[in-house]
């Protein structure tokens, strides 16, 4: 019998957290044992006893100043080769090797990162969906979108969709993660009643709509040029991608694939159940970390990280070089001087 990989989950000591994020660790531990994740991995209460240490990072924005926090992070200094991150912030710099839920393709490095669906969806009702929920009735809507206008491509998409006279639902909201139980249930029912779920980029290339569509057994249409696909998942089996510059092709794309939407939705549901449902999401996260660790071909110590953080490639990928900062400042000045139309 193969030895189990011992894992220690914890919060970083030098990071700020929202109050509700403090529930992540106890929820994760409860699920670890309730869904028998411990049959494959062992829970280590102490980092000294773990072969993999997972820092559960906050989704708060992290600038280049965060490097000072990491340089003083106790576990990263003690066990740099064992420490990994699970990070789900909107546009992560990718400071620490690990699994990211919203890593842009332009910052993704296969030797350092893995990508996954966010492991704790904000609408918990989607985890209660069963296979039969996605198949017991035929959707009456061709497509739907529910979200904020947090990126220009969403406004363009809405303009295109409003001209489509086929059955659809478009709901613009201005709230985040504070929806009532009734609103959450209404959204789940809308998912089940829709063939295609529109997933345009917002603050990040990733959209929560992607996982929600998969859970409902529906086809996500990804409209985000910088989106990095989930590691270990063939997303072409169940999703469609549309370049942002080709947003006007959206109606034609749905016509082309409408006859295949049911079968693609079934595959989406199967992959969700195997990798992102309760219990499976933790195993998938840890499998990705083990794969990342086992494929390393370098010595990981603090010099490894400092060299990366101070490299021109890392600064450029995150827009931190002097020319990039000057260009952004000039753009902001021009925007302030340009009258609103």
pLDDT given at position 340: 54
Instruction: Please give the structure tokens belonging to residue 20.
Output: 């509700």
What DSSP string describes 60-125?
A: S---TTHHHHHHT-HHHHH-TTTEEEEE--SS----SSEEESS-BGGG--TTTEEE---SS-S-GG
Which pLDDT band holds residue 131 (cuts at 50, 70, 90)? Answer: very high
Lookup result for tokens 């003690």: 78
CA 44/CA 21 separation, integer angstroms: 21
Per-residue model confidence as pLDDT tens digits over 301-341:
999 999 999 999 999 999 999 999 999 989 888 878 766 54
**CATH 3.40.50.2000 holds for 130-274:** yes
Q: Quote the percentage of the chain above a pLDDT of 70.
A: 97
Q: Is the pLDDT confidence value at 141 over 90?
A: yes
Order of strands across the sheet with 41-43?
A: 41-43, 5-10, 52-56, 83-87, 98-100, 113-115
3-state secondary structure of 150: coil
pLDDT range class, residue 14, cuts 50, 70, 90:
confident
Burial class (CB in 10 A: 0-12, 13-18, 19+), 280: middle
As a whole number, the mean pLDDT across the chain is 93
217-268 residue pLDDT tens = 999 999 999 999 999 999 999 999 999 999 999 999 999 999 999 999 999 9
Q: Is 221 exposed, middle or buried (0-12, 13-18, 19+ CB in 10 A)?
A: buried
Report d(CA 268, CA 113) in Å as an integer. 23
Domain boundaries in the chain? 5-119+281-322, 130-274
Name the percent of the chain in helix, strand, coil, to the closest 5: 45, 15, 40
Contacts of 82 (CB under 8 A, 6+ apart): 47, 50, 51, 52, 53
Strands (E) located in 129-234: 141-147, 168-172, 194-200, 219-223
3-class secondary structure, 17? coil
pLDDT given at position 16 = 79
């Amino acid at each position: 019998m193969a030895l189990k990989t011992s894992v220690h989950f914890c919060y970083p000591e030098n990071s700020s957290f929202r109050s509700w994020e403090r529930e992540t660790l106890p929820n994760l531990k409860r699920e670890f044992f309730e869904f028998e994740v411990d049959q494959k991995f062992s829970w280590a209460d102490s980092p000294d006893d773990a072969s993999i240490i997972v820092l559960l990072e906050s989704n708060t924005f992290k600038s280049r100043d965060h490097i000072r926090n990491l340089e003083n992070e106790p576990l990263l200094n003690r066990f740099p080769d064992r420490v990994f991150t699970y990070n789900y912030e909107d546009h992560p710099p990718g400071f620490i090797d690990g699994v990211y839920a919203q890593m842009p393709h332009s910052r993704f490095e296969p030797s350092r990162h893995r990508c996954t669906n966010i492991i704790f969806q904000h609408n918990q009702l989607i985890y209660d969906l069963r296979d039969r929920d996605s198949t017991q009735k035929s959707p009456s809507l061709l497509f739907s979108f529910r979200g904020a206008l947090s990126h220009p491509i969403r406004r363009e998409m809405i303009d295109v969709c409003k001209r489509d006279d086929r059955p659809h639902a478009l709901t613009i909201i201005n709230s985040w993660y504070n929806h009532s139980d009734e609103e959450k249930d209404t959204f789940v029912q809308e998912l089940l009643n829709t063939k295609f779920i529109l997933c345009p980029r917002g603050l990040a290339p990733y959209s929560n709509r992607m996982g929600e569509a998969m859970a409902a057994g529906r086809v996500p249409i990804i409209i985000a040029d910088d989106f990095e696909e989930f590691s270990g998942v063939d997303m072409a089996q169940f999703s469609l991608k549309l370049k942002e510059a080709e947003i006007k092709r959206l109606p034609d794309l749905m016509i082309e694939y409408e006859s295949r939407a049911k079968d693609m939705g079934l595959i989406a549901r199967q992959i969700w159940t195997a990798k992102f449902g309760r219990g499976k999401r933790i195993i998938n996260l840890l499998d990705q970390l083990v794969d990342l660790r086992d494929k390393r071909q370098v010595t990981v110590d603090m010099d490894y990280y400092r060299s990366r953080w101070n490299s021109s490639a890392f600064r450029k990928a995150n827009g931190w070089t002097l020319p990039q900062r000057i260009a952004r400042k000039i753009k902001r000045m021009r925007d302030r001087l340009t009258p609103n139309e």
